[in-house]
Structure 1
Amino acid sequence: MYAVKTTYYIQRPGKGLTPMSIKPWMLRIVWFILIVLTASATGLSVFLWCETQDADRVITQTTLARKALAEQTFTANHLKQRIGDIQNEIQRVKRFNTKLSNNLNLNPEAVVRGEAMGSIGIPSIPADTVSYPAADPFSRRVRDFLDALSDEIHIQEIRQQRLASIIQNKKHELDARPSIWPAMGRITSDFGVRRSPFSRRYDFHNGIDIKLQRGTPVKATAPGVVTHAGYLRGYGQLVVLQHENGIETAYGHLKKSLVKVGDTIKRGQTIALSGNSGRSTGPHLHYEVRVANAPVDPMNFILD
């Protein structure tokens, strides 16, 4: 057989038509190259399509993971805030119970010892009230913490119920304690060691200072008898009341005393007007509580 030869004519500038022969094997090479290029392009398209699908899946999964993380973060922050609120409430109840026990001359821990735990039926919180994955360490810590918090709440509830029962039997003794505020205001200086507003050195403050406007009524915090009503160096105008069980209260820096020595005073009775007399930096009430002639923190008695 004879090889078929194909002749093409090419137009060249200034030379007219020029013949060019193309042999069959040359065409076969061209067709082979075209097929390879087409197959490569097709394979590349399929590969890129698969990669695009994988990328879409990754983007979708990442979006879902971010959403889940945001929800978990919100839940965790809400739980943290709620737990903080519960802790603050428990501390408030504990402080109240301690003060009440002090006013009743009770050991706060003794209130929940002995048969108290079994005599008052307070239902416990079921363990499955909140479900957490057992394998999650954080969830286990949260569950253990909430269990401990629940136990603490039960103890405080028991303590309050026991105290309520004791109060009924010791009402007179409680009424004789300085358990109310002499006047409502902001405490500007606490009981204990402080920096003196005069010398700027540290000294011991025997009471609390309550910021008041001049002329604010000052009330007796417990029933008693007036043992001092007049001026005393440092204190300025001062009223001192003697109460039961060796307790005294003192009210200093007054503008005016409304009682006299020997008067019998009721709880809540107005005994003076607040002022700025004596060694004072501004209008306020200096309030002291003394037990057996020793100063104690008045806040241990005030049931706020």
Structure 2
Amino acid sequence: MPLKKHKKITIFLSAGVTEKIRQFKLPGIAAYVAPVLILIATVFLFLGFLDYLSLKGEHSRFLALQKENSFNKEQFLHMATRLDDITQEMSEMRELDQKLRTMVNFEVAEGASDSVGVGGSDPALLDPKRNLSAVSPELIRAMHRNLGDLSSEIELNKRNKIELFKFLDEQKTVLASTPSMWPTRGWTSSRFGYRSSPFTDKREFHKGIDISASMGSPVVASADGIVSFSGLDRGYGRTITIKHGYGLKTKYAHLRKILVKKGQFLKRGEIIGLVGNSGKSTGSHLHYEVHLNGVPVNPMKYIID
């Protein structure tokens, strides 16, 4: 039985008109295999193109995430740096508070002087060149720790400021109640302490100071207080006594006229009477005394204006 010959496919190739034509003979089965191979190649090329598009999209998203991560890292480090700055500012405020307390001689309550220790972040953690994923856990813990310390420091600072405010407010009252003002304008004709009596020429203790001034010159309260006496007082003549609190009391004697009444509240600098020559006196002047806890003291120790 004669063998069946397989058909062959002849392919002619020419590089140009003048070039020699080349021919290739392929088995007939190639007519069936070639389209299949072309189809498979096309499918692979299409799938490869899809993979390329997918990788390109992933790369774009990666670049976007990388940019966002870089921005977040910058913001994160900025926040950590700002927290350190606030910590430093709190430390400076604490020092200023201590200086202020020292200036006004305000004693801090026992246990309150020890301020909360506020640390800062490790400078190495704030290095922008470091990997954020490696730094973040440590930096977050440091930030939480600093925030906790700052919260305690702020609360302590608030309490200290309230205490200082109360102290200064009380000091304001003390200053207003301190007889630091001249009760009248004139010249000091007799000082506090032992002197020769202008009447007997004997040595006696002068409980205040005498301020010579024109008849009718205004006399003012040298500090805030309440009038405890207003009237005639034997040798002192027309006299006013003012209680200022804190153990302080002032006396204004030999007045020509009294302008206040017992129990009246007075402000520092308020006119209370007029300079005169009433009582046992040698001329127009004001006899002025300051008593501390019932003991006469030198008024000049208090007068500053």
TM range (shorter): 0.3 to 0.5
Structure label with greater radius of gyration: 2
The two structures have a TM-score, normalised by structure 1, of 0.45
The two structures have a TM-score, normalised by structure 2, of 0.45
